[in-house]
Structure 1
Amino acid sequence: MSRSLAALSFSLLVFVASWPFAAQAQRTLSFDAHAVPEAGTLAIAVAEGLPADGAFAAIDARTSGALRRAAESEGFKGKADSTLDLRGFGGYERLLVLGTGKEALAPRKLEDIGGRVAQAAARSHASRFELVWDGDEVDAASHLAFGAALGQYRFDKYRSRKSDDDEGAQAGKGELVIRTRAGAGAGEAYAAQWKPVADAVAFARDLSTEPANALWPEEFVARVRKAAAGLPLKIEVLDVPAMDRLGMGGILAVGQGSARPPRLLLLRYDGGRAGDAPLAFVGKGITFDSGGISIKPNSNMWQMKGDMTGAATVVSTVLGLAGRKAPVNAVAVAALAENMPSGSAARPGDVIRTASGKTFEIMSTDAEGRMVLTDALWYVQRQDKPRLVVDVATLTGSIVAALGGDYAGLFSRDDALAGQLLAAGEASGEELWRMPLREEYGKRLKSPIADLRNGGGSPGAGMGAYFIGEWVERELPWAHLDIAGSDWNDSGKPTAPEGATAFGVRLLDRLVRDHYE
């Protein structure tokens, strides 16, 4: 950036065409030249050992050494994830000092710092909250802003008023200014490459958080149409008659017990070369899962409003790719149904014929995710001839028992694709753990009257993955991500506040960035 531009010391607000995401008030992100303001509400980051230069040293000098003395008295040394929070200090309304530790900071660590600052800003009544970053990492401003956008997410649309012990209606409103050596121009890079992904994550979180009386298959489709408006996307929707003509017995069986009919939604983005095979992302979209006839216990059944997170993840990924004009072809498939018990519901013991001609015997109507995915996977392979397929599903409780919420389970027959996904998970902060996918699982799924059973035996997560894989051509690179557990945070993280995480959007975006652009 030229000296004359830096001398202007102005902020470039990020105004880009935005999708109709949640109406929750959040701070506007803006960018400015590196400088250390002498007043206001300020956040700075310091490495372990407390630096002798940069923002920390500048403020310490202004306060005649009071900042270092305050740090020493509080035992603050700049260790990773540590915080020194000073109110009414040295002319500042608030000075927030964040420790970053000793190690060099990868982009995901920068995002965590941005998220930590944004969450502090979300609880603050200050109209302007500033973050000064001394480092010279490439694209530091974009990653700090990306983390801030993710970290400040909130979903308040159904609250009619703030409670007496809440932070208040004005908390979290105003501006969050990111000051780096890239200056105001950093806003352009953020707007082009990272804001679309942050918006996509927010959209997926919104969908996953909505109650089932506000979001069902047809409403899911309507919201995706609204979000896709103005973007270079094509939408295809199969209704019940269309699915019936194609013989999609899997998705129809799951949806037949509900008064709200199922849908198959395809969202296509052609940003690559004409004729190149697309990347296919297929998501389980059960807008509410009662378990059907194999009904779940009441305890925590409310969380089954989020059983459509896989579908939310894949459509949001493609929305993000289109928003940032990624040079790839991609298609998202959302297999949408509501799994309810009724006189018309499918039963354990029923035999279902899928669109591929393959049949399965229902052992449990609560193993519905794999049922809807059979037809979705067949259809995208027939229509789009993809170069690879990744399916995403909140599939099994057994993966939660195995991995908790720290990792999602990765199952794949393709070592190269598995390696790419593992690397993308580490880079994005949405980490995967590869699980076994043994051929002998198929023996445990044999049915005496159909091609397969839809469940039975253990390991449950592996059996579910194997079943799904039977509807994917063997030569096609395929991976199954079981995101049950990682789709929801009971306690917040810097870039994923408590609640729906939209796990997989950042992961799949990173997969595309690093390996297919």
Structure 2
Amino acid sequence: MQFTTSSEAASQLATDCLIVGLFQDQPFDDDLTALDQATDGVLTRLLEDGDLPRGAGKTLILHALPGIKASRMLIVGLGKAEKFNGIAFTRAAQAAGKALRQSRARHAHCLLANSPVADRDESWKLRHAAVALAHADYVYTATKKPKDDAPPATDSVSFPAGDAAETQLAIAEAVAAGVQLARDLGDAPPNVCTPIYLAETATRLAGEHAGLEVEVLDEDQMAKLGMNALLAVGQGSVNPSRLIRLSWRGGKDGDAPLALVGKGVTFDTGGISLKPRELMEQMKFDMCGAATTLGVMETVARMKLPINVEGVVAAVENMPDGKAYRPGDIITTMSGKTVEVHNTDAEGRMILADAIYWTGQNLKPAKMVDIATLTGACVVALGHHASGIMSQDDELVEELLGAGHAAADRGWRLPLWDEYQEQIETPFADMKNLGGMPAGSVTAACFLSRFADGQRWAHIDIAGSAWQWGKPESATGRPVGMLVEWLVNNAGGWSAL
């Protein structure tokens, strides 16, 4: 989807569809007033008859209205003005995007950014309206071709011209591209999206974007480094494991980078600790931390962000096999610390242990954030609306929480107190890889913290937010928005771009 600007009056735009918002408890705004006048009061009559949508996310498409050149008008309800915050705005724009796709319109003009949103400026509204429309237009097509009569994708959406509007829409295209990559990778089947496929994707990105560099470590190279925890998880699979690094050098030489470390378990059977049959097909989404990392790196490269960024992906497949690692095994990690395996389905923390340690020792980041579909316990705690954020670095947590709020991609802090550490103690190794049922998300983060010694590090558990459960099951692209916002803030803010 392409984004453009137009300075023409909305009523005079010859487009397939006009998109406007309507508050539940407010009179027509300037846009609707002008369109109502152009249609000789049609909108007023529909409002008086109760036919216009006013509830949040409700939509209505009107065809061939007199007095305007657009073929359709899509009205989306915005709900009550006092509750119309950044989240409500994003949901309204996504609702409009879904209706737009179903309308079969190929081109549209969007006026939603003219609606007032508390604590959000014009630039934010433009960016987020565009990204939300693109998000709603997404349809998975890699292995299933649309039917001949399926609604076509929306080719382009224009917005009212204004100061820096084109710049903000270019940023939106970059963010939307990163989100789409994360969704495409998450939705891909596990027989396609293997560790090698993730490495090839990173290599392709480096070839497409000048300034993006790639490094891929194979199993022999990782073995020489002592990355035994990562290799143990993948040793039961015929698909070889990989450690992938994408580097962006947009900042000054010598400036310490910000680092993202993504969990990339391309399929997780649980290994010897085999998962139940029900919903196991969803375990193709267990690489959404890796998908997020690659999506963010694409956005960073497209935006040419003036900061140094490292994206690291630990890519494995966790399968049961005669060579698979077992409960009871004791693994010596790259750090030299030993881990007693209590459950081979607690594999994400095993691969991240080596990846986090490698990143800290080799890349020496100023700050590091890992992203992982790590625990079902996080889904129990937070559901599907918030990602779980854990760290003992209060400042870093506040940065991520603030970025999530600003990006309408929210997180929530869970504790990482020292008292939880005792749950992963064992008499046979430095730690075990499972802390039991209580506070499962927290004890998983406790495990990871032991490999981030001396680092400004935070962990984001996206088990509930990375994909949409139910029908249709699909990757969400989260938390690409949060992490892009965080990186931009560290680069001086949106005004610096």
Partner of 2:452: 472
| 3-state DSSP of counterpart to 1:307 | helix
Distance 1:498 1:85 in 2: 27
Question: Cα–Cα, structure 1 residues 212 and 442, in superposed 2: closer, same or farther, change >3 Å?
Answer: same
Say if 2:434 is the partner of 1:449.
no
Judge which range, 290-299 or 507-516, deviates more. 507-516
Partner of 2:176: 198
Contact 1:233–1:269 (CA under 8 A) maintained in structure 2 = yes
- How big is the shift at 1:433? 1.2
Partner of 2:49: 73
Q: Of the candidates 132, 135, 138, which is equivalent to residue 122 of structure 2?
A: 138
Say if 2:68 is the partner of 1:83.
no
Say if 2:327 is the partner of 1:372.
no
Question: Cα–Cα, structure 1 residues 335 and 510, in superposed 2: closer, same or farther, change >3 Å?
Answer: same
Aligned ranges for residues 139-288 of structure 1 at < 5 Å?
139=123, 140-160=125-145, 162=147, 168-169=149-150, 171-173=151-153, 175-182=155-162, 186-191=165-170, 193-231=171-209, 232-288=211-267
Partner of 1:461: 441
- How big is the shift at 1:61? 1.8
Partner of 1:513: 488
Contact 1:34–1:132 (CA under 8 A) maintained in structure 2 = no
Partner of 2:332: 353
What code does the residue aligned with 1:162 have? Answer: K
Q: Of the candidates 319, 338, 349, which is equivalent to residue 298 of structure 2?
A: 319
- How big is the shift at 1:444? 1.7
Question: Cα–Cα, structure 1 residues 127 and 217, in superposed 2: closer, same or farther, change >3 Å?
Answer: closer
Judge which range, 423-432 or 87-96, deviates more. 87-96
- How big is the shift at 1:414? 0.6
Distance 2:244 2:201 in 1: 12
Question: Cα–Cα, structure 1 residues 98 and 174, in superposed 2: closer, same or farther, change >3 Å?
Answer: closer
- How big is the shift at 1:368? 0.3
Q: Of the candidates 466, 474, 481, which is equivalent to residue 460 of structure 2?
A: 481
Contact 2:217–2:244 (CA under 8 A) maintained in structure 1 = yes
Partner of 2:395: 416
Distance 1:252 1:300 in 2: 26
| 3-state DSSP of counterpart to 1:68 | helix
| 3-state DSSP of counterpart to 2:365 | coil
Distance 2:5 2:291 in 1: 30
- How big is the shift at 1:378? 1.0
Question: Cα–Cα, structure 1 residues 316 and 423, in superposed 2: closer, same or farther, change >3 Å?
Answer: same
Partner of 2:315: 336
Give the length in aligned residue pairs. 479
Residue deviations 1:143-180 (CA, integer Å, cap 9, x gap): 322222222122122124528xxxx24x2345433231
Residue deviations 1:210-235 (CA, integer Å, cap 9, x gap): 00010111111001211222321121
Question: Cα–Cα, structure 1 residues 144 and 498, in superposed 2: closer, same or farther, change >3 Å?
Answer: farther
Contact 1:124–1:172 (CA under 8 A) maintained in structure 2 = no
- How big is the shift at 1:189? 3.6
What code does the residue aligned with 1:507 have? Answer: M
Distance 2:53 2:315 in 1: 51
Distance 1:45 1:216 in 2: 43
Contact 2:53–2:75 (CA under 8 A) maintained in structure 1 = no
- How big is the shift at 1:280? 1.1
Distance 1:144 1:42 in 2: 14
Contact 1:201–1:505 (CA under 8 A) maintained in structure 2 = yes
Unmatched segments (≥5 aa) in structure 1: 1-26
Distance 2:100 2:29 in 1: 25
Question: Cα–Cα, structure 1 residues 182 and 103, in superposed 2: closer, same or farther, change >3 Å?
Answer: farther
Contact 2:77–2:92 (CA under 8 A) maintained in structure 1 = no
Contact 2:205–2:212 (CA under 8 A) maintained in structure 1 = no
Aligned ranges for residues 368-407 of structure 1 at < 5 Å?
368-407=347-386
Contact 1:254–1:368 (CA under 8 A) maintained in structure 2 = yes
Distance 2:62 2:183 in 1: 33
| 3-state DSSP of counterpart to 2:208 | coil
Distance 1:127 1:315 in 2: 29
What code does the residue aligned with 2:446 have? Answer: Y
Contact 2:262–2:314 (CA under 8 A) maintained in structure 1 = yes
Unmatched segments (≥5 aa) in structure 2: 493-497
Contact 1:489–1:501 (CA under 8 A) maintained in structure 2 = yes
Residue deviations 1:389-443 (CA, integer Å, cap 9, x gap): 1111101111111111011111111111111111111111111111111212222
What code does the residue aligned with 1:300 have? Answer: L
Contact 2:186–2:474 (CA under 8 A) maintained in structure 1 = no
Distance 2:50 2:65 in 1: 14
- How big is the shift at 1:485? 1.3
Say if 2:471 is the partner of 1:500.
no
| 3-state DSSP of counterpart to 1:440 | helix
Question: Cα–Cα, structure 1 residues 444 and 105, in superposed 2: closer, same or farther, change >3 Å?
Answer: closer
| 3-state DSSP of counterpart to 1:46 | strand
Partner of 2:4: 30
Contact 1:409–1:482 (CA under 8 A) maintained in structure 2 = yes
What code does the residue aligned with 1:443 have? Answer: E
Question: Cα–Cα, structure 1 residues 452 and 443, in superposed 2: closer, same or farther, change >3 Å?
Answer: same
Contact 2:262–2:372 (CA under 8 A) maintained in structure 1 = yes
